[in-house]
Structure 1
Amino acid sequence: MTRSDRRLAGLACLLMGLGLVVAQPAAAEPRRLEVELSQRFDQLDSGFSNWQGQRLELQSTRPDAPTWYGAATRDRRYGERDEGVELGAALPLDADWVLQPEAGRTFGADFLPRWYADLRLQRRLPHGLVGALSLRRTEYEASRVDRLALGMERYWGPWRAGYTLNVSDVSSAGTPVGHALALDHYYGERSVIGLRASLGREEEGLPGGEVVTSEVTAVALRGRHWWRPDWALSWEVGTLSQGDLYDRHGVQLGIRHAF
C-alpha cells in the first residue's frame, strides 16, 4: 500500500488497496519512483502447512498526475505455489474525482484466482470525507466472485479513519457480506502506522480452484517508516480466524527504496 502524504494538507485523492494516498501540494513536484521487496510468513493450525509469500512492487507518482503501480507475486500455500502479476493506475479526473482501474493475472492458479479486474471510483466530499465505490470480478478455476464495495473515509489532521462494506456474489458459495475498518496515523514526511480489522463472511480460494465462504474475524497492525528520504521499512503483524477452517497468524517485512 503506497503513500505520498503531505501530512494530509489538502485532499487525499486516493487510498486504495495498496493504501495509496495522493495529496495536493502547494507547488509542482517531480515524479517519484518507489520499489519495494517484501516477504511474508503465516502460521496456520488445523493441520495446514504454513504459508509464505514474496512481492516485488513498483509505483510511480507525481501530485496532480496519474499514479502507476504494479507487482510481481509468488505465494506458497497448501503445498502448492502460485505466481502472478498485478497492474493498476490512479487517474485524477478533476479536483474531486479519481478513477482507479486494476487487474491481476496468476500463472498456474492452484489456489489463487486465475485473474481479477477491479474498477474503483472515489470522490472528495465536504468536511474531510471521501466516498468510494468499486466493482470487482475474480475468476477462479472452478468458481467466480463478483464483489461490490462501498466505502467512506474521514481525514482530520494526521489521522484517517475508514469503513468499507463488501457484498460478494460467489457462484458456488452464496452471497457473503463483510465489513472492514481502518485507522491510520501519519507522521514525519511519509511515514504511517495503522490498524485494520474485518469481520463477516468472506470467500477463500482452496487448491483446485474451489471457493468456500466462512465467518472471518481479523485484526492487523501495519506501518511504513521512512528513516531516510529514500529508504523505508514496511511491516505488518496480524491474526485471522477463517471460520472452522483455520486460524492464521502472520508477519510481513519489506524494504522500500525511492528514486
Structure 2
Amino acid sequence: MQWMVDARPAAMAAIVGALVLVPAPFADAQDEERRTEMEASLRYDALDSGFDDWLTQRLDVQSRLRGAPTWYGALHRERRYGTWDEALLAGAAVPLGETWVVQPEVGRTFSADFLAKWHADLGVQRVLGGGYVGSVSLRRTRYEGSQVDRLALGMERYWGNWRGAYTLNVSDVDVAGTPVGHAVALDYYYGERSLVGVRGALGREEEGLPGGEVVTTDVASVSVHGRHWFHDDWALSWELGALSQGDLYDRYGIQLGLRHAF
C-alpha cells in the first residue's frame, strides 16, 4: 500500500481535466498537439519494528491530447525485506463523448516475492456537472498465495483552482476477510500545471509480505505532495508522508522525481 488506499484517483485528475470539459485550471485547452511526459523518480521509506528500509525506483510515461485517448505506463523496481521485485503496468483513459471516460489498466510483476503477480483494473468516470465527477472501478489482484478483488467508488469536485476527492474502497481478500478503506485528497493548482496537495487514508488494507502472504491490518496515513514546473518542459515532483500499518510497522517516506515533457 502507498500513502492513499489507491493512487489512481489522484493520478487521473489531470487526465480527466485534459479529456473532458471539467472546470479545472489544469485542463489546458491551448494544447492542440499531443503532449508526452516522462518522469524518473526515487523513493526512500524508513520503517520501524526491525524492518529494513524500502527503496523504489520508477519510470513513468504519459501521453495525452485533449479529447483523445490518454496512454500511460510505468516500470518500477522495489527493494523490501532485503530483496528486489520488478513490475510493469500499462493503461489508457478513453473518452466516450464529453461526459464519460473508460480506463482499463493491467500490471505484471517479473519476480513476485512481495508485490502482486499481476493486476487488472477497469474504471469508469462520468462528469456530473457543477464541477463533480463520479467514478467506479473494479480491480483483481493476484498474489502468490491469494487473490484480492476490490471495488472503488469515488467522487471528485473541482472549483476555482481546487480539487477535492473521496474514495471508498471495499476489498474481498480470500485469505483475510473484507477490509474497507477511505481515502481523501485536496489539491491546489497554480500556474498552468503545477500543484500542491494533501492526501489521507483510514481503514483496513491488505499488505503483501515475502513469499506471497497477504495480511489485513488497520491503516492510517497522511502525506503532502507537489509538482512544480520550473520550465515549460521540466518539472520537479515530491512527496513526504507517514503511514501506520497496524501492528506491523510505521513507515516514513520521501519521494523525488524529475519530469520532462516533449
TM range, smaller chain: over 0.9
- Identify which of 83, 88, 91 aligns with 2:86: 83
Deviations along 1:111-165, one digit per CA (max 9) or x if unpaired, are: 0000001111000012211000000000000010000000001100000000000
SS at match of 1:172: coil
Quick one: which amino acid aligns to residue 191 of structure 1?
S
CA-CA distance at 1:80 after TM superposition: 1.2
Aligned to 1:158: 161
Mapping of 1:92-107 within 5 angstroms?
Answer: 92-107=95-110
User: Whose helix fraction is larger, Structure 1's or Structure 2's?
Assistant: 2
Q: C-alpha offsets along residues 101-120 of structure 1, whole Å, 9 cap, x if unaligned?
A: 01100011000000001111
Alignment of 1:106-255 (within 5 A): 106-255=109-258
Q: 1:239 to 1:215 in 2, by over 3 A?
A: same
CA distance in 1, matches of 2:188, 2:112: 36
CA offsets 1:162-203 (integer angstroms, 9 cap, x no match): 000000000100000000000000000100111000000000
- TM-score under structure 2 normalisation? 0.91
The ranges of structure 1 where at least 4 consecutive aligned residues each deviate by more than 2 angstroms after the TM superposition are 15-20, 22-28
Deviations 1:23-49 (A, max 9, x none): 345566100111100000000000000
The 3-state SS of whatever aligns with 2:11 is: coil
* SS at 2:130 equivalent: coil
Equivalent pairs: percent with the same residue?
A: 65
Which of 12, 18, 23 aligns to 2:11? It is 18
- Any unmatched runs of 5+ in structure 2? 1-7, 22-27
Name the counterpart of 2:4: none
Gaps of 5+ in 1: 1-14
**Distance across 2 between alignment mates of 1:208 and 1:135:** 25
SS of equivalent to 1:104: strand
Asked whether the equivalents of residues 10 and 185 of structure 2 are also in contact (C-alpha less than 8 Å), the reply is: no
Q: What is the CA RMSD across the aligned residues, in angstroms?
A: 1.2
Q: Helix, strand or coil: the match of 1:125?
A: strand
**Which of 41, 47, 52 is the aligned partner of 1:49?**
52
Looking at structure 2, the residues matched to 66 and 76 of structure 1 have their Cα atoms a distance apart, in angstroms, of 33
Question: What amino acid maps onto 1:35 in structure 2?
Answer: M
- For residues 153 and 48 of structure 1, the distance between their equivalents in structure 2, rounded to whole angstroms, comes to 36
Count how many residue pairs are aligned between Structure 1 and Structure 2.
245
**What is the CA–CA distance in structure 1 between the aligned matches of 2:13 and 2:152, rounded to whole Å?**
17
Answer yes or no: is 1:69 the counterpart of 2:72: yes
Taking structure 1 as the reference length, the TM-score comes to: 0.92
Segment of structure 1 superposing worse, 234-243 or 25-34? 25-34
Distance in 1, matches of 2:47 and 2:209, equals 14
Amino acid at match of 1:147: R
Partner secondary structure for residue 133 of structure 1 = strand
**1:18, distance to aligned residue in structure 2 (A):** 2.6
